[in-house]
């Protein structure tokens, strides 16, 4: 009865909204009404507005004027065509409407309001995924690709694919992100060194441009839009469908965490492993830092070894964790022992500190979910996350380590969160796409994934981020930020470097009125 009553109330609210013009704000601060004739499913209730006003970063709070919960891609197209200067009803008169901002939002996992549209309209892409026909994830008959609604979470792509014995090859560490969201940035993780980021594993896209045009694009069809949108920070169009490359799905994973006290050995072994392309090579590689001035999480290790691991960290102040995985199934099982033997014999880790688990493939890919559950139970998930993600040229990683890790992080009274530290191969990235990386064959992914829980002020952590950036600037280390949020045009021009003119040209071509993704602060 409660469920039916709830559905009835929602139906009534939706019907009322559909019969009532919705008031939003134009770029000039002028009232703009979305006319009933547009036939849009718009929500303006406090809950919907509040949910769209903040994100995982929990640092910004920007209220949209309305939230669109589309039941079809044509609704999104109608909204954008109207936003380009259709006809509005202001005080009963008609005429060209002032333009207003529009932002697509998936799971809201941005850090600084990048998916916000202050006063404008936020498009809830999860609604589109739920309405997708025949399904949000459709696997091709031959199992080589999946057509996926862009509002779908990657975990749901995984579930649908493994049922057919197939799987995407490139993953983010956290799977409860939308497909369109990661493809608008890059989508990186421990498989990137071998298969490239997620944007390198897309065959085709459906996109609604800033002008409201519905276009299909691929490397051969509308390639300018295709390469621009991938990693394009939502500036040229809203991705509504992605055709994702699939491969055979393994069933199990040998998952290892290997501890180092010597940075040189850690660096050498990481870079050697990402260069191996034969059958003995690993399928996943990342690295983390365990520091004595932070929380030392030993939950991965056997209970009998956890005290020993904690003591190692305290003795050395910092321990480098090489995290690797090798996938297998019944046909590839014979090679697993050879891979473990190779790692044991050739790596320069601290003797006696290599730990291996054998887990199902799905559980391995979904491993961060357990960490989320722990943090939620402690009230430490929905807190400010002033994260800093950067790409560091491989040739300068020792300077970065000495100046930032030893010089800054280890000298903090305490550190919070996880610090990621691992290399990847640039030749797995397509330079025609919008994402920027350092101009070297090998660069490092550094993630200072800090959380301001309890009494800690997030601005203190942000000040530490600023010191990291300043150190790199002063030292001439040409980093590229990832998931960045600049507020000055000169910073964006510097970030895109030689791609800036082309990025600007595509903006003029596909979103000439600069309506899309205002929260990125690129063209505001």
Q: Which residues are catalytic?
A: 109, 173, 286
**pLDDT at position 32:** 74
30 backbone dihedrals φ, ψ, rounded to 5°: -90, 140
* pLDDT score, position 90: 45
Q: What pLDDT is stored for residue 179 in this prediction? A: 98
Q: What is the pLDDT of residue 6?
A: 38
Token pair 């939706």 in the structure block, residue: 14
Q: Which sign does the torsion angle of CA 51, 52, 56, 61 carry? A: negative
**Looking at residue 97, what is its pLDDT?**
56
C-alpha 462/C-alpha 448 separation (Å) is: 11
Tokens of 62: 């920007």
Give dist(CA 174, CA 435) in Å, integer: 20
How wide is the angle at C-alpha 230 spanned by C-alphas 196 and 450, nearest 5°?
Answer: 70
Quote the pLDDT of residue 285: 98
Q: Hey, how many other C-beta atoms are within 10 angstroms of the C-beta on 459?
A: 12
pTM of the model: 0.93
400's CB contacts (< 8 A; 6+ apart) are 392, 444, 446, 472, 477
Listed as ranges, residues in the chain with pLDDT below 70 are 1-21, 26, 28, 86-98, 454-455
Residue 147: beta bridge partners?
Answer: 138, 243
DSSP 170: -
Structure tokens at 414: 């305490």
Q: Note the pLDDT of residue 378.
A: 84
What pLDDT score does 516 carry?
98
- Of the candidates 337, 210, 238, 221, the residue with the CA atom closest to the CA atom of residue 280: 337
Specify the DSSP class assigned to residue 457.
-
Cα 286 to Cα 268: distance, rounded to the nearest angstrom: 14
Q: Three-class SS of residue 453?
A: coil
pLDDT given at position 13: 40
Share of the chain above pLDDT 90, in %: 85
């Amino acid at each position: 009865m409660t469920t039916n009553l709830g559905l009835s109330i929602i139906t009534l609210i939706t019907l009322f909204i559909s019969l009532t013009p919705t008031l939003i704000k134009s770029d000039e601060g002028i009232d703009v009404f979305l006319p009933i004739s547009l036939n849009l499913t718009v929500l303006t209730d406090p809950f919907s507005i509040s949910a769209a006003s903040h994100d995982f970063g929990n640092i910004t709070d920007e209220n949209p004027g309305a939230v669109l919960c589309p039941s079809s891609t044509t609704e999104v197209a109608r909204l954008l065509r109207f936003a380009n200067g259709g006809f509005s009803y202001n005080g009963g008169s008609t005429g060209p409407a002032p333009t207003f901002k529009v932002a697509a939002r998936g799971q809201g996992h941005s850090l600084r309001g990048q998916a916000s549209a202050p006063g404008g309209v936020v498009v809830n892409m999860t609604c589109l995924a739920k309405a997708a026909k025949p399904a949000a994830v459709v696997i091709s008959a031959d199992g080589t690709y999946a057509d996926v609604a862009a509002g779908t979470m990657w975990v749901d792509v995984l579930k649908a694919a493994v049922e057919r014995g197939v799987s995407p090859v490139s993953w983010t560490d956290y799977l409860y992100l939308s497909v369109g969201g990661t493809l608008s940035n890059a989508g990186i993780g421990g498989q990137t060194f071998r298969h490239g980021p997620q944007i390198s594993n897309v065959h085709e896209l459906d996109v609604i441009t800033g002008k409201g045009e519905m276009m299909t694009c691929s490397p051969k069809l509308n390639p300018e839009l295709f390469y621009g949108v991938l990693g394009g920070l939502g500036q040229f169009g809203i991705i509504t469908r992605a055709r994702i490359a699939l491969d055979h799905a393994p069933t199990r994973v040998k998952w290892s965490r290997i501890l180092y006290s010597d940075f040189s050995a850690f660096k050498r072994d990481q870079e050697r492993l990402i260069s191996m392309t034969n059958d003995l090579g690993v399928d996943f590689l990342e690295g983390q830092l365990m520091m004595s001035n932070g929380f030392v999480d030993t939950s991965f290790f056997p209970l009998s070894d956890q005290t020993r691991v904690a003591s190692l960290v305290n003795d050395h102040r910092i321990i480098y964790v090489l995290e690797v995985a090798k996938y297998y199934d019944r046909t590839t099982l014979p090679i697993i022992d050879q891979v473990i033997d190779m790692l044991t014999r050739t790596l320069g880790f601290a003797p006696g500190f290599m730990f291996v688990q054998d887990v199902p493939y799905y559980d391995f890919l979904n491993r961060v979910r357990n960490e989320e559950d722990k943090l939620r139970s402690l009230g430490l998930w929905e807190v400010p996350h002033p994260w800093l993600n950067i790409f560091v040229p491989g040739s300068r990683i020792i300077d970065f380590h000495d100046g930032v890790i030893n010089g800054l992080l280890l000298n903090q009274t305490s550190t919070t969160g996880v610090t990621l530290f691992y290399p990847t191969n640039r030749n797995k990235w397509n330079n025609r796409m919008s994402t920027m990386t350092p101009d070297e064959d090998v660069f490092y992914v550094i993630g200072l994934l800090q959380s301001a829980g309890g009494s800690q002020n997030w601005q203190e952590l942000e000040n530490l981020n600023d010191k990291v950036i300043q150190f790199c600037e002063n030292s001439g280390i040409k980093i590229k930020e990832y998931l960045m949020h600049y507020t000055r045009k000169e910073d964006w021009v510097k970030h895109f470097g030689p791609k800036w003119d082309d990025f600007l040209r595509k903006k003029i071509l596909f979103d000439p009125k600069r309506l899309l993704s205002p929260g990125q602060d690129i063209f505001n």
